[in-house]
Amino acid sequence: MRFTKMHGIGNDYIYVNCFEEQVADPAELARLISDRHSGIGADGLILISPSESGDVQMRIFNADGSEAEMCGNGVRCVAKYAYEHGLAKSQGAFTVPGQSPLPISMSIETGNGVLTVGVVTDGNDKVQQVCVNMGEPILAPGDIPVSLSGENVIDAAVSIAGQELIMTAVSMGNPHAVFFCDDVESVELGVIGPAIEGDGLFPNRINVHFVEMVGPGEFKMRTWERGSGITLACGTGACACCVAAVLTNRGQRSCLAHLPGGDLELNWSEQDNCVYMTGPAVSVFEGVWPE
């Protein structure tokens, strides 16, 4: 089975072109190839397949074999792969409200519906940057899901793992818990992250983010990703943190997120209520995984 390893600001996955390859048990394959000692090493597996509603379909399997609904860094890499391998053709310009349109766009079917993306290429027709319309944030607790009452979960006091925390919860097609703090580097993420992820408050587990505001248009964040552990980046999580910063009057709709693996540009548009995420997509290497 041929594969390509790619990453978006350090959030690395193994990508398989299912137009050409077959994967009988993606959950087991994800566990095997993600192992950084006995496998290839990755945060998970992403399958790129034919789609009836988009140019391509992506399915994401975390390092523990669980299937995720969405991956923001992964969808950028899927766009790069699909464009450079001729799996998708431009559907015209990609428009971000208030910004100049990008000339190349495509559509990708995900567990969060069909997303439109715009790509920026270099002089050799290689994709360097990808902008994704990540859709509207979901704030209703039952839809995130979070087992709390009310219309939303904004700066809510919760008790998790023996700690009293202030949490804002957002879904970007997958669930996120955001905790603002004064110093993200001092957070014992390897301890508190799994405790929050598996807490009974979250029926489907949850992605955990600690955020330090650098200024109204800039923040630092660290992530414990559901099913994968500490990761260098989380694209959907960065979008959720942008939304959370606005909802709690800490940040602006257009902002820059600093993640351990790199930066993402975010824009929660007032015109269509969608979050736009822009960042790089990088191919690392190709290889053959023995059957």
HEC string of 82-111? Answer: HHHCCCCCCCCCECCCCCCCECEEEEEEEE
- What pLDDT score does 99 carry? 85
Catalytic residue from among 18, 131, 181, 234: 234
pTM of the model: 0.94
Amino acid identity, position 28? E
- Residue 199 pLDDT exceeds 90: yes
Asked whether residue 106 falls in the same domain as residue 188, the answer is no
Per-residue pLDDT tens for 165-183?
Answer: 999 999 999 999 999 999 9
Is the pLDDT assigned to residue 98 strictly greater than 90? Answer: no
147-168 mean pLDDT: 95
Under the banding of pLDDT at 50, 70 and 90, the label for residue 161 is confident
255 is catalytic: no
Can you give the pLDDT at residue 229? Answer: 96
* pLDDT greater at residue 201 or residue 291: 201
Tokens coding 71: 């991956």
Q: What is the pLDDT of residues 47-59, one digit of tens each?
A: 999 999 999 999 9
The answer on 202 and 122 residing in a single domain is no
pLDDT in the model for residue 135: 95
| CATH code assigned at 148 | 3.10.310.10
Indicate if the alpha-carbon torsion angle 183, 228, 11, 257 is positive or negative.
negative
Does residue 107 sit in the same domain as residue 211? no
- The per-residue pLDDT of the chain, averaged, comes to 96
Q: In whole angstroms, give the CA distance from residue 63 to residue 235.
A: 17
CB 75, CB 51: distance < 8 Å? no
Whether residue 107 sits in one domain with residue 150: no
69 with 166, same domain?
no
Report the number of distinct structural domains present in the chain: 2
Predicted confidence (pLDDT) at residue 289 exceeds the cutoff of 80: yes
Question: So what's the pLDDT on residue 147?
Answer: 97
Q: Is the pLDDT of residue 214 over 80?
A: yes
Q: Which residue range forms the structural domain that includes residue 10?
A: 2-133+280-288
Are residues 40 and 123 both part of a single domain? yes
Q: Does residue 62 contact residue 43 with C-beta atoms inside 8 Å?
A: yes
pLDDT of residue 103: 86
Do 162 and 53 share a structural domain? no
Q: What is the mean pLDDT of residues 17-26?
A: 97
Q: 114: exposed, middle or buried (C-beta count within 10 Å: 0-12, 13-18, 19+)? A: middle
> How far, in Å, CA of 155 to CA of 169, rounded?
9
> Both 115 and 145 in a single domain?
no
Q: Tell me the C-alpha distance between 109 and 123, whole Å.
A: 28
Position 11 scores a pLDDT of: 97
Same domain as 265, residue 173: yes
